[in-house]
Amino acid sequence: MFKMEMQWKEFNVDLRAVDAHMRSSHPEYTGNQAAASLELWFSEALSEEDQSAVIAYWDDIHDDSAEATSYESAADLAADVAAKKASGKAKLAALGLSEDEIAALVG
């Protein structure tokens, strides 16, 4: 295994977007880990050229980049799930299901 460490940005970054980019551009990429720095893991060591490309990609992420603007906090994600659940319950109620039936289906 080979690891590269990137210093955190001063703004939030959508690591799912970074992961998707890395998987599409580096077949040896195996994943990332959020620690004191962003750890990017590879199945084998990268060439100097590939390491430079990874560093350039990370350095090019700015607060208005897609990787930054697509970031959703855990609270945002939880609120989205709660809203979808409430919407589903309302639709089931409109279909005539009782609260007990809805609770059995949705929780």
Q: How many domains does the chain contain in total?
A: 2
Per-residue confidence (pLDDT) for residue 47, from 0 to 100: 96
Q: Is the dihedral of CA 48, 51, 53, 58 positive or negative?
A: negative
Residue 107 pLDDT more than 80?
Answer: no
Q: How far apart are CA 79 and CA 83, in angstroms?
A: 6
Beta bridge partners of 4: 40
8 and 24 in a single domain? The answer is yes
State yes or no: pLDDT of 4 exceeds 90.
Answer: yes
Same domain, 48 and 80: no
Whether residue 18 sits in one domain with residue 60:
yes
Assigned token pair, 34: 């959020």
pLDDT digits (tens, 9 = 90+) for 58-76: 999 998 888 887 766 667 7
Residue 69 phi, psi dihedral angles, 5° rounding = -75, -20
pTM of the full predicted structure? 0.65
Segments forming the whole domain that contains residue 57: 2-69
Contacts of 15 (CB under 8 A, 6+ apart): 32, 34, 38
Mean pLDDT lowest among 30-34, 53-57, 71-75, 103-107? 71-75
Band the pLDDT of 43: cuts 50, 70, 90. Answer: very high
User: Based on the domain organization, do 86 and 55 belong to the same domain?
Assistant: no
User: 64 and 39 in one domain?
Assistant: yes
The answer to whether 92 touches 105, Cβ cutoff 8 Å, is: yes
Q: What is the DSSP letter of 32?
A: E
